[in-house]
Amino acid sequence: MDTGGNSLASGPDGVKRKVCYFYDPEVGNYYYGQGHPMKPHRIRMTHALLAHYGLLQHMQVLKPFPARDRDLCRFHADDYVSFLRSITPETQQDQIRQLKRFNVGEDCPVFDGLYSFCQTYAGGSVGGSVKLNHGLCDIAINWAGGLHHAKKCEASGFCYVNDIRVLYVDIDIHHGDGVEEAFYATDRVMTVSFHKFGDYFPGTGHIQDIGYGSGKYYSLNVPLDDGIDDESYHLLFKPIMGKVMEIFKPGAVVLQCGADSLSGDRLGCFNLSIKGHAECVKFMRSFNVPLLLLGGGGYTIRNVARCWCYETGVALGIEVEDKMPEHEYYEYFGPDYTLHVAPSNMENKNSRQMLEVIRNDLLQNLSKLQHAPSVPFQERPPDTETPEVDEDQEDGDKRWDADSDMDVDDDRKPIPSRVKREAVEPDGKDKDGVKGVMERGKGFEVGMEESGSTTKVSGVNSVGMEEAGVKMEEEGTTNKSGGDQVFPKT
CA–CA distance, 411 with 195 (Å, rounded to integer): 44
Burial class (CB in 10 A: 0-12, 13-18, 19+), 96: exposed
Whether 236 and 361 have beta carbons less than 8 Å apart is answered as no
Whether 59 and 457 have beta carbons less than 8 Å apart is answered as no
Buried b (16+ CB within 10 A) or exposed e, 142-153: bbbbbbbbbbee
Q: How many of the other CB atoms lie within 10 Å of CB of 225?
A: 19
Strand, helix or coil at 19?
strand
Whether 55 and 43 have beta carbons less than 8 Å apart is answered as no
Upper half-sphere CA count for residue 477 (Cβ side, 13 Å): 12
- C-alpha distances in Å from residue 122, one per residue of 116, 147, 177, 440: 10, 9, 17, 20
Q: Kindly report the CA angle at 45 between 288 and 465, in degrees rounded to 5?
A: 95
Buried b (16+ CB within 10 A) or exposed e, 155-170: bbbbbbbbbbbbbbbb
CA–CA distance, 379 with 9 (Å, rounded to integer): 19
**Any bridge partners for residue 159, and if so which?**
156
DSSP 26: G
- C-alpha distances in Å from residue 129, one per residue of 97, 138, 166, 182, 431: 36, 11, 11, 18, 38
Whether 387 and 130 have beta carbons less than 8 Å apart is answered as no
CA-based nearest residue to 191, from 204, 199, 201, 200? 204
CA–CA distance, 233 with 295 (Å, rounded to integer): 19
CA-based nearest residue to 461, from 302, 328, 329, 327? 327
Q: How many of the other CB atoms lie within 10 Å of CB of 360?
A: 11
Residues classed as catalytic: 149
CA-based nearest residue to 149, from 137, 162, 140? 162
Phi, psi of 222 (to 5 degrees): -115, 95
